[in-house]
């Protein structure tokens, strides 16, 4: 006879799935999974049945048919004979253009405003508070519409710029004039800026996808890149010399020479000159044209997002202990150098993660472009293409997929940057 009896043989009962902690978590997970799958099935089935009921199929072949409509501003060549796919790409590039420029400008403006809001100058600090509170507390759509209206209503129409011989003889002057030695004209439709052009062309290569690339521009970019590396080399040599001998060689005149000298020589050889915008029958032609739909959207996105970024920057700076500033002052650093060399680099660690979501917001907010008829992805794929082909489901899914991809790319790039500035612990 044994003293200790065998542990009771465990029989599995159904109730154990609920009451036994070993099984309960699995039970809950299985139930949730089943509910999720059922929900997914219902959504897909709903879409399928309703498409069937309307006699519509689900395919993306419409992307390869002729688009038939025109787009005002395109980064790559586009005519109405191109496909809906190309119109999609045109819209996507327009979205990316306004998003990238918007992110850069919003960060610059936001950083300045955020830093100034902490200024000891009472007036400056209060003004920046007003800036932040005004711009972030009014809906973005209203800012976009307001900017569009201001640009369209306050500027003269292109024909007011016209200066005919008859007017010259009569001693009249045109109602409106261009700025900065006739290089910039801002009408109620857009901005025309004198553009650099070359009189001697090296030719143009056509990249796959019918995207022309001027060899002149390519050569200039290669020269500038080479100059940059040359300058880096120069700086490294100077630093090595300084560390070895304690005397820093004179580089102030070498820097601009190395950076811009070769590019200037190449430009002169290629015959660089400015192409001035001139008024024609209806509008300005020549130079670089930028419609107000783009400008209004960019300004609105910038000021709106910069207000949020300013607060993030302020929070980041205030998160750095006051002792850091005092220590820097004790070492004799001036306030501006303290900010640039001591505070901001540390503050970045706090700033970057919330900054990512502001970049994502800005990119997604750019889909409000339709308010000022800027043809972004929402305007081409989600607007005209959707409407002319009647492929609501396909267009919407595709658009969601593209925005999702853009957002994921932005956040992974920013996460890599965040990792690089993280406190290195060894």
Partner 1 sequence: MKKSVFFGSLVLAGLAAGVAGASTLDDVKARGELICGVNPGLTGFAAPDANGNYQGFDVAVCKAVAAAVLGDPMKVKYVPLTGETRFTALASGEVDMLSRNSTWTFSRDTELALDFVAVNYYDGQGFMVNKNLGVSSAKELDGATICIQTGTTTELNLADYFKANNMSYTPVNIADDAEGQQKFLAGACDSYTTDASGLAASRATMPNADEIVILPEIISKEPLGPAVRHGDNNWGDVVRWSFYALVAAEEYGVTKANLEEVAATTMNPEIKRLLGLEGDMGAKIGLDNDFAKRAILAVGNYGEVFEANIGASTSIGLARGLNAQWTQGGLMYAPPFR
Q: Which residues bind partner 1 (CB under 8 A)?
A: 13-15, 17-19, 31, 34-35, 38, 41-42, 45-46, 48-50, 53-56, 68-72, 80, 152-153, 157, 159, 188-189, 280-283, 285, 291-293, 370, 373, 375, 379, 383-384, 387-390, 392
Distance CA 183, CA 188 (A): 17
Name which of 370, 369, 381 is nearest 83 in CA terms.
381
On whether the CB atoms of residues 423 and 349 are closer than 8 A, the answer is: yes
Closest distance between partner 1 and the C-beta of residue 52, in Å? 9
Closest distance between partner 1 and the C-beta of residue 361, in Å? 24
In 6-20, alpha helices (H) = 16-19
Q: Smaller CB distance to partner 1: residue 74 or 99?
A: 74
Closest distance between partner 1 and the C-beta of residue 242, in Å? 57
Q: Smaller CB distance to partner 1: residue 16 or 257?
A: 16
Measured CA angle at 385 (ends 103, 373), to 5 deg: 45
- List the structure tokens of 390: 């009647």
On whether the CB atoms of residues 186 and 177 are closer than 8 A, the answer is: no
Closest distance between partner 1 and the C-beta of residue 80, in Å? 4
Distance CA 144, CA 295 (A): 10
Largest CA distance in the chain: 131
Q: Smaller CB distance to partner 1: residue 19 or 252?
A: 19
Distance CA 343, CA 351 (A): 12
β-pair partners for 204: 214
Cα dihedral 123, 124, 128, 130 in deg (nearest 10): 20
Closest distance between partner 1 and the C-beta of residue 95, in Å? 15
Q: Smaller CB distance to partner 1: residue 19 or 253?
A: 19
Closest distance between partner 1 and the C-beta of residue 28, in Å? 13
Residue 211 φ/ψ, nearest 5 degrees: -110, 110
Closest distance between partner 1 and the C-beta of residue 35, in Å? 8
Q: Smaller CB distance to partner 1: residue 45 or 177?
A: 45
Distance CA 98, CA 76 (A): 15
């Amino acid at each position: 006879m044994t003293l200790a009896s065998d542990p009771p043989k465990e029989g599995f009962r159904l109730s154990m799935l609920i009451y036994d902690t070993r099984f309960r978590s699995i039970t809950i997970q299985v139930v949730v999974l089943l509910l999720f799958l059922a929900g997914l099935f219902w959504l897909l089935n709903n879409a399928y049945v309703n498409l069937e009921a309307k006699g519509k199929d689900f395919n993306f072949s419409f992307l390869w048919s002729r688009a038939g409509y025109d787009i005002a501003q395109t980064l790559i060549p586009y005519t109405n004979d191109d496909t809906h796919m190309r119109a999609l790409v045109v819209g996507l590039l327009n979205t990316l253009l306004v998003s990238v420029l918007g992110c850069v400008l919003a960060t610059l403006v936001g950083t300045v405003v955020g830093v100034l809001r902490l200024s000891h100058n009472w007036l400056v600090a209060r003004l920046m508070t007003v800036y932040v509170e005004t711009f972030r507390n009014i809906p973005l759509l209203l800012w976009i519409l307001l900017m569009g209206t201001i640009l369209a209503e306050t500027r003269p129409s292109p024909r007011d710029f016209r200066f005919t011989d008859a007017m010259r003889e009569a001693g009249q002057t045109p109602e409106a004039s261009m700025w900065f030695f006739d290089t910039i004209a801002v009408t109620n439709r857009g901005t025309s800026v004198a553009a650099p052009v070359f009189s001697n062309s090296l030719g143009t290569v056509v990249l796959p996808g019918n995207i022309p690339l001027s060899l002149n521009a390519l050569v200039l970019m290669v020269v500038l890149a080479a100059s940059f590396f040359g300058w880096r080399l120069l700086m490294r040599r100077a630093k090595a010399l300084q560390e070895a001998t304690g005397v820093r060689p004179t580089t102030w005149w070498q820097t601009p020479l190395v950076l811009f000298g070769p590019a200037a020589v190449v430009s002169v050889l290629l015959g660089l000159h400015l192409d001035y915008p001139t008024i024609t029958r209806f509008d300005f032609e020549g130079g670089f044209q930028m419609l107000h739909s783009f400008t209004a959207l960019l300004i609105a996105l910038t000021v709106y997002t910069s207000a949020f970024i300013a607060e993030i920057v302020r929070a980041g700076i205030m998160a750095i202990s006051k002792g850091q500033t005092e220590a820097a002052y004790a070492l004799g650093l001036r306030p501006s150098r303290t900010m640039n060399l001591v505070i901001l680099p540390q503050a970045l660690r706090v700033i970057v993660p919330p900054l990512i979501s502001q970049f994502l917001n800005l990119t997604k907010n750019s889909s409000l472009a339709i308010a000022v008829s800027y043809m972004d992805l929402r305007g081409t794929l989600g607007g005209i293409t959707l409407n002319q082909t009647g492929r609501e489901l396909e267009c919407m899914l595709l658009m969601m997929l593209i925005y999702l991809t853009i957002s994921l790319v932005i956040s992974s790039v920013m996460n890599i940057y965040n990792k690089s500035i993280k406190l290195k612990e060894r």
